[in-house]
Structure 1
Amino acid sequence: RQICRRARTHISPTLFRSSFTGTVGVELRPDALVVSVPAMPARERLQGQLNALLTALAQRTLHRPLVLHFISPPPLAPSSHPLSAHVPPTANGVKRAAAVALRAAPAIPAPNLNPRYTFASFIVGESNRLAYAAGQSIASMPGRSYNPLFLYGGVGLGKTHLLMAIGHELAERGLRVAYVTSETFTNEIVDAIQHNTQEEFRGRYRAIDALLIDDIQFIGGKERTEEEFFHTFNALHNANKQIIITSDRLPRTIPTLHERLRSRFEWGLMADVATPDFAHRLEILRVKAAEVTITIPPIVLEYIARPEGSSVRQLEGALNRLVMMAHTRGSAVTLALAATALRECFGERGRIDLSPTVVLDLVANHYHVSADEMLGKGRVRSIAWPRQVAMYLLREETENSLAQIGAALGGRDHTTIMHGCEQVGEMLRTDEQFGRELETLRSALRSL
């Protein structure tokens, strides 16, 4: 009834009456809803003109992917009673017809789309702009532009996210969408061969409106998988159904892939999803940081974004690790903490040049003061002491001269720098706790 009420708001009253009068939902299964329709013209309208709309409404109402099967009530046995033709079919008769319909109809693969992977959560940059634009075009005109769409690029760069985002848009339009990895596709073929159900397998995949297949490179060299996919591809493409494929490389570089598949993959549009540049990585981190419950300073986000070649997956992993470490330790997010988290995620690629600015920011965060205060003229101990610690670390841990350190610290002369270093050195000789504190700062700097 809820589906009918929603459908009434999308179609004219006349079409609603002629299509839905007398319809009865007779069976609901995990992947299918069977509807009995008394008149053949109405059944044809529901199966054809209105099928996409009703499927979308049913999935939205029941909160799961399913397909609709429309059946006619079973014919009545002849009877001598003059009114027998007007006796309605029994419930058992309708259910038997529903079971027959379910067995005869192909079970279309469920969409299997991650609800988080949408266009709204996909962050666009120069590295993926073409692929994103192609995805948007397909979402508005499936089967007519860029068919197939072949997305290629390294691991963890967002190909699957974009693939599923397109799938969500197509499903929202009422299209029957199937997302599958090449491994799952291969396993289903093997299972179909073992159980002699190849025709059912073919029927499932050729009854959909859009096929989204991930990591196609793994079918190379699997003769039976390539054969079945070749025929599935042809059947869908000839029917103007949308095909979207992802791979970690171009078709021509997939080893042992049959030439006839390679050429078909190149029919439509091949779009690169490349490694994000620094600005793109930083924007990804800003968006992700806004979703967590703790504050992450901009300098820390810039630090995480700095390693070249970082994938989106690596960035998210580094950020998640940093947040976890901050929660576990009950501490604020600092540059020193980020250095530890980044070393675990990126290894040596997390190293950056030890410029005076980096040292100043590290010390400022440690002592809960601002870098601007350390560069100023203030002489209160809460500011002067962190400034002297920064002087010492710049002298001991970098190649900067005294003059360069003085310039970096607000234009101070070299004698001031020498005095500050002597003060810190004296404290090191007399205060064991400060020694441990300074070693923590040293370790953070050496990990940068």
Structure 2
Amino acid sequence: MSRNTIRIIILLASVLFIGLVTTQIFWVKKAFEITQNQTQHEIELALINVVQDIKDHTEDSTFLVDPVNMISPNFFRVQINEELQPFYLESMLQTEFLNREINYKFQYSIYNCFNDSIVYTKLVGNAKNTETENELEIPPSVKWDNDNHYFSVFFPSLDFEIISQMRFWVISSIVLIAVLIFFAYVINIILHQKRLSEIKNDFINNMTHELKTPISTISLASDVLMQKGIEENPERLHNYARIIKDENQRLQNQVERVLQIARLEKDELEMTKQQFDLHELIDLAVPTIEMNFGEKELKIKTKLDASNAMIWGDEMHITNVIFNLLDNAGKYGGDIPEIIIETRSLEKGIFITVSDKGLGIAKDQQKEIFEKFYRISTGNVHDVKGFGLGLHYVKTIVDAHNGKIKLNSKIAEGSQFELFFPYGTEIVK
């Protein structure tokens, strides 16, 4: 399956995921609004019945226009013509709410119609439970412009009660979202496994290519040495023997690099800590790396400004770190690589940068550059040799010294690796 096909599938799956979640949220919200409107209507009908019961009890024939007003979704104001006894009002409210199955906690308040102050207020558990709760909640402020008496009913937990009635919607939404999250997780795992498979295949291809060259060279040199009369030309014999030795050493180095990473993964890599001068290490590494590139022109500039270059660590492994960074800068630095190594002292350690003006690394690849076996994709071209182990090794060694490493890079502008090694820090084993 091609990458474009995978991208299209991921895009469609994302659109479907967002669409399903949005639709579910819409219908849950719609169901909540419908249930809320039905509940508010039932409360208004119950309060109208309470007003009618009060009028019948007091034999009041006065007609009241819209005696019940909804001030907010959970707060209702009720107009009456007579003063009320609190417990009588509470009894009627509970009776009407119970008849309409409104079993919610409510707080009723009786007001002084002259100054809108609360004369009496009480919080009732629910229509079935007459036990009064001790903690009163403050209802919204209310003002009545007429001279009539009035009371209010406040439902402090109405929204929660409505949501609790929507168990089916809530549970189905949770299940749907959980299924979608699980689906997204599975897709992520599949893509991750596919990526690992691609990296593994790239590693096998690179390793095959890297090992095939010295093996072929050794085979050709061996064929020459087996020719009759080769012993009569000592110089030629020596040259081919040297070729076999060099290629054999190259094979050993490649195998050792793979084994070294394996030991790192198992925490079996031995480190010998000691204090050494990082500037001296860099001064020795620069001419060596220049020699390794042979005829390729390499420009390396050093700005070793750190006032204190003495660090505590494994000199061999930190040397390998510097070598790997310089080697990468040389390989990917263009036709004539220009490399700058800088150091400066910080309060708790030494700061190092290795910069080049080469190809640069795309932003989406920078997060993976330190992963084992990862190499920047260049198609099927093997102009840059390697297994994708160098930067993983660098990151592992830096972490083992309680240090930090960071990459800054832009395409066609070059790359800069920033390293920090603390002074006198014990190595993590």
- The structure where strand makes up a greater share of residues is 2
Q: Given the two structures, how large is their TM-score scaled by the length of structure 2?
A: 0.20
- The structure where helix makes up a greater share of residues is 1
Largest Rg, 1 or 2: 2
Q: Given the two structures, how large is their TM-score scaled by the length of structure 1?
A: 0.20
